Structure 1
Amino acid sequence: MRIFLYSLFLLFSIVSHADGERVNIASFSQNDINSWQTKIFSGETHYAFSTMDGRTALHANSTASASGLFRKVSIELSQTPILHWSWKVDNVLTGADERTRAGDDYPARVYVVFSGGAAFWRTRAISYVWSSKQAVNSHWRNPFTANSQMVAVQSGSERVGQWVDERRDVLADYRRIFGKEPGKLDAVAIMTDTDNTGASASAWYGDIWFGAK
């Protein structure tokens, strides 16, 4: 993550999105990338709409690069705590320890970011990742910042090449990981990155939304 969450904090100008049962974050199936912004770290991951398996999605290609897309939002987790998304990866990254700086690369990540307000050093994030070998549902400290925790939602190559629909209770995850109550969720981000390992990765991102269940 490097300084991703701090960069997001500095750019916050929160826009609220709410319709009760469903809060749409990304409508990639509709070729819609409006309201999403780019953050480049080292080289640029290429993001473009494409159709795969009859589904329109955002396709990410990374070779020794790291750039992400983020959207500023305002989510009240007490009302809509469940994050939904779909993704597919074409490969996993092997041969590096993901819990070190040299191995902090993933074919696909979905971040949720919580601003610390004026105390930017309190900004926290959960990064849901497709891991190469960590146990599913395990979490660990990001090697670049203690305020970010990684969660392995998928792991290994068993489901490589398949669309996977995900559902995470972000409120429960935050309580479990940080041991306290979160404030409002301020941003959602995605990233496919390979800058630390120098490898290549390809992934697909489907629609993203929050719901009550």
Structure 2
Amino acid sequence: MNHRPLTTFVVALAITGSAFASSQPVVLGDFSQYQQVPEEPWQIVRFDEDIPATDYRLRQHQGVHAVEARAQGSMALLARPLAADLQKTPVLCWRWWVDEPIKQADMSEKSGDDYAARMYVTFDLPGSAMSLGTRLKLSAARTLHGSDLPDAAINYVWDNKHPVGTTRANAYTDRAQMMVLRTGSDDTDRWITERRNLRQDLQQLFETGSAQTLQLAIASDSDNTGATTGALFADIHLVAEGDECRFPPA
């Protein structure tokens, strides 16, 4: 009996099954589809009306449709709601371009809490992931600063001097954790692609892999140091854990 056709069929079925198992990417920032920024669902978020807002505009650079952020002693986020299923598509992909890091910055001090580029994701954590003290502290903070204050935030940053992989609490609050993905000038003046597993990073930074995503934002900020800086952000999307990022060719 010839088993070759059956073997061929089984192999073909396995390949087809793998293809169907792959999830479609969740597109969050394809800036070729926008006429301007901010444009829904993106909006400018300011924390202090007395601080000038970072300027955001569309730009095509080296064949990549991007948002350009320009900060001059300024701070504001370009943000959008984020309702992601971290069980299906936990991997955040994007590419960014930085001219130069902020030389005067120091992430350990409030006076130096500035970054040429940051990717910012906020979360609502399950109650079991927070101590009673943390819940009480958040409740008090929301009374002062508003109910939109998130349980947790991860800031993926382009720093000036700390080693790649450095993590630490933000200088203003331990509910925002900083993670250095790039540092110094080695990777400046070119497009750099990034891939981060949000579920794994939540586990590392907040000791829980279960959370509801609330908001995604990009920023260049220099309100503490007064520096001039800028960055480009493009092709922001989510993919499944085993899938490749889907960056269109430049």
Tell me the TM-score normalised to structure 2 length: 0.73
Q: CA deviation at 1:116?
A: 4.8
Where do residues 20-169 of structure 1 align in structure 2 (5 Å cutoff)? 20-31=23-34, 33-41=39-47, 42-116=51-125, 121=138, 123-169=151-197
- Structure having the higher strand fraction is 1
Q: CA deviation at 1:182?
A: 2.7
Give the letter aligned to residue 186 of structure 1.
Answer: L
1:61-98 alpha-carbon deviations (Å, 9 max, x no partner): 10000011111121111111100000001111013322
Q: Which moved more, 1:172-181 or 1:113-122?
A: 113-122
Given that 2:200 and 2:209 are in contact with CA atoms closer than 8 Å, whether structure 1 keeps it comes out as: no
What SS is found at the alignment partner of 2:204? helix
Measured on the aligned residues, the alpha-carbon RMSD in Å equals 2.0
Q: CA deviation at 1:54?
A: 2.0
Given that 2:89 and 2:239 are in contact with CA atoms closer than 8 Å, whether structure 1 keeps it comes out as: yes
Identity %: 33
Deviating above 2 A after TM superposition, structure 1's stretches of 4 or more consecutive aligned residues are 29-34, 115-122
Q: Name the CA distance, whole Å, in 2 between partners of 1:23 and 1:153.
A: 22
1:4-47 alpha-carbon deviations (Å, 9 max, x no partner): xxxxxxxxxxxxxxx94311111113336420111123211110
Given that 2:125 and 2:212 are in contact with CA atoms closer than 8 Å, whether structure 1 keeps it comes out as: no
| Bigger Cα Rg | 2
Partner in structure 2 of residue 189 of structure 1: 217
- Structure having the higher helix fraction is 2
Q: Name the CA distance, whole Å, in 2 between partners of 1:113 and 1:57.
A: 22
Q: Name the CA distance, whole Å, in 1 between partners of 2:183 and 2:32.
A: 25
What SS is found at the alignment partner of 1:173? helix
